[in-house]
């Protein structure tokens, strides 16, 4: 009888563990969003140059402690934060990178933007509101 009880408890524990593991799975989009927000909240700032924008991917270059990095960021989910003219994204920008892994960097997330053109657009809208 005690063996049956232990077997049932073990089976229930295994089922609960499997259910919790299945429930905690994230989609690739959720994992990427979590990564962007983590880099934003814990990252350090630096300067970058956006070299290209094609197919919702920003390509950029930056340097951290003498090491040059070439990176890209998929921005499909962040289109509302982009300016209407994609060509205006080329040029200087700010980045945030993870201090322990400088190759893990972002130009843009849901809570922050290092794109200079986006900042100029917001300032221009505020100026227009003040004039009106």
Percent of the chain with pLDDT over 90: 58
**Is 8 part of a structural domain of the chain?**
no
What's the number of domains the chain is made of?
1
Mean of per-residue pLDDT scores for the chain: 86
**Is 21 part of a structural domain of the chain?**
no
User: pTM of this prediction?
Assistant: 0.71
**Is 5 part of a structural domain of the chain?**
no
Q: Measured between alpha carbons, how far is residue 98 from residues 58, 91, 103 in Å?
A: 18, 22, 8
Residue 92 structural domain: 27-131
> What's the pLDDT tens digit per position in 60-115?
999 999 999 999 999 999 999 898 887 889 999 999 999 999 999 999 999 999 99
Percent of the chain with pLDDT over 70: 83
CATH of the domain at 33: 2.40.50
**Is 70 part of a structural domain of the chain?**
yes
**Is 64 part of a structural domain of the chain?**
yes
**Is 17 part of a structural domain of the chain?**
no
The three-state DSSP-derived secondary structure of 11-54 is HHHHHHHHHHHHHCCCCHHHHHHHHHHHHHHHCEEEEEEEEEEE
**Is 98 part of a structural domain of the chain?**
yes
pLDDT band with cut points at 50, 70 and 90 for residue 122: very low
Which of 25 and 91 is assigned the larger pLDDT? 91
**Is 68 part of a structural domain of the chain?**
yes
């Amino acid at each position: 009888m005690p063996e049956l009880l232990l077997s049932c408890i073990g089976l229930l524990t295994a089922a609960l563990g499997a259910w919790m593991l299945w429930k905690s799975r994230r989609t690739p989009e959720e994992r990427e969003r979590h990564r962007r927000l983590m880099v934003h909240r814990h990252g350090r700032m630096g300067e970058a140059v956006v070299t290209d924008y094609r197919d919702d991917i920003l390509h950029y270059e930056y340097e951290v402690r003498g090491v040059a990095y070439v990176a890209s960021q998929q921005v499909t989910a962040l289109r509302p934060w982009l300016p209407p003219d994609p060509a205006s994204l080329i040029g200087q920008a700010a980045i945030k990178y993870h201090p322990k892994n400088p190759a893990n960097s972002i130009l843009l997330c849901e809570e922050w933007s290092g794109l200079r053109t986006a900042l100029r657009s917001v300032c221009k809208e505020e100026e227009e509101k003040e004039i009106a």
